[in-house]
Amino acid sequence: MNELELVERLRKMSGKDRRSGVVRGIGDDCAVFRPKANEDLLLKTDQLIEGVHFSRTMPPERIGERALARALSDIAAAGGDPRCCLVALAVPRTKADKWVLSFFRGLLRLAARTGTVLAGGDLAHDNKTHCSVMAVGAVRRGKALTRAGARPGDQLCVSGRLGKPWDQRIEPRLALGRELAGHATACIDLSDGLSLDLHRLCKESRVVAKIERIPIVRGASLERALHGGEDYELLFTLPASGKPPTGTTRIGKIVRGTAGTVWFEGKKLAPRGYNHFT
C-alpha cells in the first residue's frame, strides 16, 4: 500500500460525527472545525515514544488506543468533551502497513466510543516508532477546570484507586470530568504520580495539601500509589460543603501555607513522580 492508499483506508475507517464540529476532515490540506458560540476550546498535544512510553512488544492496537487515551485524559481533567484529534505517526520501514492499520484500529475504537473524530494527521518513516496526538475538546464558556482554583478549606478527592501497573489500559474519566465542571474548584489528571501532580496543583493554586488517606489498587505498594505514574485518575478539589461524586474518595484537604507543599503522615512529601528531565 502506498501512502495515498493508506490515507484513503484511514479516511474510510475514521467515520464522521456531525456533532463534533468537524466540517471537513481527512483528505484536505487542513481540517475545518466549527466551534459553537457558547464554548471554549481545549487544545492538547501528547507524545508517545517507543522505549519511553511503551515497549516494543506492546500490540499496535493497544499503542494506538493508549496514544489517544492519554490526550483524552487531559480533556477530562479540564471538564470537557472531546471533539476531534490529529495524529502524526512515524514508524520504521520494517513495519508493515498492517501495523499502522492496527494502530489506528485501536485508536479509532476509543475515538468512536468517546465521540472523537480523527480529523487529519501525518505519516512518516523513522528509526523508532513515535506518535503525537493533538486532541481538541470543548467546554461550556468559562467552565473549564484548571489546576489553579483550589482554596484553603476545600476537600481533596481522587477517582478510582492508585498504584496501577504502568501499561494498564487507560479509561479517560470523561464522564466524571463533565460532572465536575462547574463544581470542582481545581482538577488535574494523574499521569506522573500523586506526589508530583498534587504538588503541581498546589503550586498553581498557591495552596498546601494534607493527604489523610489513599485508596490503593489491590496488590500495589504505597510507594507506587504515591509516586508511580500512569494512573490516569482525576485528582480534584471541592468546596467543603460539596459531596464527592460516586466512585471518588475524599483523601485530604487544602490548607494555607507555602505554595506547592504536600503533607503526608506528618511529613513533607517530596514530588518524586515521573519527570522526563531528571
Residues that bind Mg ion (CB under 5 A): 74, 189, 191
> Which residue, 10 or 187, is less far from Mg ion as judged by CB?
187
Judged by beta carbon, residue 3 or residue 166, the one nearer Mg ion is 166
Angle of CA points 144, 149, 153, to nearest 5°: 135
* Residue 26 or 158 with smaller CB distance to Mg ion: 158
> Does residue 235 contact residue 190 with C-beta atoms inside 8 Å?
yes
Q: How far is the CB of 179 from Mg ion (least distance, A)?
A: 18
Hey, what amino acid is at 52?
A: V
Q: Which is nearer to Mg ion, 26 or 192 (CB)?
A: 192
Between CA 5 and CA 24 the distance in angstroms is 19
CB burial of residue 241 (10 Å; 0-12, 13-18, 19+): exposed
Closest approach, Cβ 197 to Mg ion, in A, equals 7
Let me know: does 183 contact 132? Beta carbons within 8 Å. no
C-beta closer to Mg ion: residue 26 or 196: 196
**Minimum separation from the CB atom of position 142 to Mg ion (A):** 21
Q: Based on CB atoms, which residue is closest to Mg ion, 48 or 91?
A: 48
CA gap 4, 25 in Å, rounded = 15
Which has the closest alpha carbon to 240: 252, 226, 228, 222? 252
CB of 63 to Mg ion, least distance (A): 19
Contacts of 246 (CB under 8 A, 6+ apart): none
Phi–psi pair at 110, nearest 5 degrees: -70, -35
Shortest distance, position 256 Cβ to Mg ion, whole Å: 26
Shortest Å, Cβ 133 to Mg ion:
13
In the complex, the smallest distance separating the C-beta of residue 83 from Mg ion, rounded to whole angstroms, is 18
| Residue 205, all three cell numbers | 493554586
CB-based contact 225:194 (threshold 8 Å): yes
Instruction: Tell me if 21 sits within 8 A of 108, measured CB to CB.
Output: no
The grid coordinates of residue 94 equal 520494517
With respect to Mg ion, which residue has the nearer C-beta, 17 or 40?
Answer: 40
How far is residue 104's CA from residue 123's CA, in Å, rounded to a whole number?
12
